[in-house]
Copies of this chain bind each other. A is one copy, B any other.
Amino acid sequence: MAITIIDIAKMCGVGVTTVSRAINNHPDINEETKAMIMQVIKENHYVPNNSARNLKRAASKTIAVLIKGITNAFFNRMIQVFEKEIQTKKYSFILQRVDENQDEIEVAIELVKEKRLKGIVFLGGNFLHPKEKLDQLTVPFVLSTIGMTEEFDPDEYSYVAVDDYKESYKMVDYLCGLGHKQIAIITAPMDDVSIGKLRYEGYKKALEDHGVELNDRLVLCMKEDIESYSMENGYVVTKELLQSEEEFTAIYAVSDSMAIGACKALVEGGKRVPEDYSVAGFDGVDISFYYNPSITTIRQPVEEIAEETIRILFDMIHKKVTHAHKIFPAELIVRESTRLLT
């Protein structure tokens, strides 16, 4: 049906090997025959079949980035950096989205076989997998911006991220320093084990250190049936808070998007930010700057994280290291959405 390398070989009156050499820029080939072959290929729109290639090839210089869930602004920037860095290393780059309820390891294992991957980057999610399963993953991989809970054995994993616990503490500490004592938090449901949990723990500790007692009614959890960490989630949850008539002076949302949803709910309720309520976010995505008022947030050093991720991955590929880790500091950016309580 479709045209193959054999057809091209026949048309050119050469062997398939020669055609293959032409395609793959092998050295052992006469420049003229090569040019001739390429010409015929062009004229006949021959396109090599990747499946056949992958099947035969022992290895290919490609690395895959698996991204869990919906692509968001935060990941978009990282992906750009990944792509650039990987291309610089003369590798090719596959971006694979893995569904929320899909097992990223399964996908990874399959992909390694199919594409003969050299390495993998896992982006987002919580990444809880039995060791037995991970052992099937025969290529180096790095966890990037995945919440690092205690369970993570540094000898088993390579990762680069920020210290969600510490950075979250930093934000709440700042809020307390502003005089806030009734600080609502919007975070993941309590069964979460990833960044949601870590950031919540940071919140708890900061309150404790400032001698303010935790008020359960100010601990707000995202709705499971709404996209997680989304503006809508922050919006809905804040509406409920307002209705509950529980008193508070600040809202700390565990993502910028939710912080924006919170602002919207507040404004719709006739409140002003920051005059009536302070609002803070986390991540430092673009919109936190563009929003009105601009959102006080914790900015993750996205570019650095992405670059370091690739650096570590290639170190592993080249056997320079077996595992490596890097925790980047994040930056508290004070903007218009928070104010000193007087």
Cβ of A286 < 8 Å from any Cβ of B? yes
A274 CB to nearest B CB, Å: 12
Interface string of A253-267 (1 = CB under 8 A from B): 000000011011001
Cβ of A156 < 8 Å from any Cβ of B? no
Neighbouring B residues of A70 by C-beta, 8 Å: 76, 80
CA distance A271 to B54 in the complex (A): 59
Q: Does B55 contact A290, Cβ atoms closer than 8 Å? A: no
Beta-carbon nearest neighbor of A97 in chain B: B95
Cβ of A39 < 8 Å from any Cβ of B? no
Cβ of A282 < 8 Å from any Cβ of B? no
User: What's the interface size class on A, roughly?
Assistant: 35 or more
Contacts known (A76-B71, A287-B287); A49 close to B45, Cβ less than 8 A: no
Q: Which of A106-114, A117-125, A310-318 sits within the interface? A: A106-114
Q: Does A45 contact B114, Cβ atoms closer than 8 Å? A: no
Cβ-neighbour of A235 out of B49, B54, B264, B290 (below 8 A): B290
CB neighbors of B among A72-116 (8 A): 76, 80, 83, 95, 97, 99, 109-110, 113-115
A11 CB to nearest B CB, Å: 17
Neighbouring B residues of A230 by C-beta, 8 Å: 286
Cβ of A51 < 8 Å from any Cβ of B? yes
Cβ of A33 < 8 Å from any Cβ of B? no
Cβ of A231 < 8 Å from any Cβ of B? yes
Cβ of A292 < 8 Å from any Cβ of B? yes
Cβ of A232 < 8 Å from any Cβ of B? yes
Contacts known (A109-B47, A113-B50, A136-B45); A232 close to B263, Cβ less than 8 A: no
Cβ of A152 < 8 Å from any Cβ of B? no
Neighbouring B residues of A292 by C-beta, 8 Å: 263-264, 267, 291-293
CA distance A45 to B109 in the complex (A): 10
CA distance A114 to B53 in the complex (A): 10
CA distance A150 to B50 in the complex (A): 36
Neighbouring B residues of A267 by C-beta, 8 Å: 292
Contacts known (A70-B76, A292-B267); A2 close to B113, Cβ less than 8 A: yes
Contacts known (A70-B76, A76-B71, A95-B97); A50 close to B290, Cβ less than 8 A: no
Q: Does A290 contact B231, Cβ atoms closer than 8 Å? A: yes
Q: Does B114 contact A50, Cβ atoms closer than 8 Å? A: yes
Q: Does B47 contact A55, Cβ atoms closer than 8 Å? A: no
Which 10 A-B residue pairings sit nearest by Cβ, starting from the closest? A50-B114, A51-B54, A51-B55, A71-B71, A51-B51, A264-B290, A292-B292, A49-B113, A231-B290, A45-B136
Show the binding face of A for B, using Cβ within 8 Å.
2, 45, 47, 49-52, 54-55, 70-71, 76, 80, 83, 95, 97, 99, 109-110, 113-115, 136, 138, 230-232, 235, 260-261, 263-264, 267, 286-287, 289-293
A–B pairs, 7, beta carbons within 8 Å: A2-B138, A49-B114, A51-B115, A71-B71, A230-B286, A261-B290, A263-B292
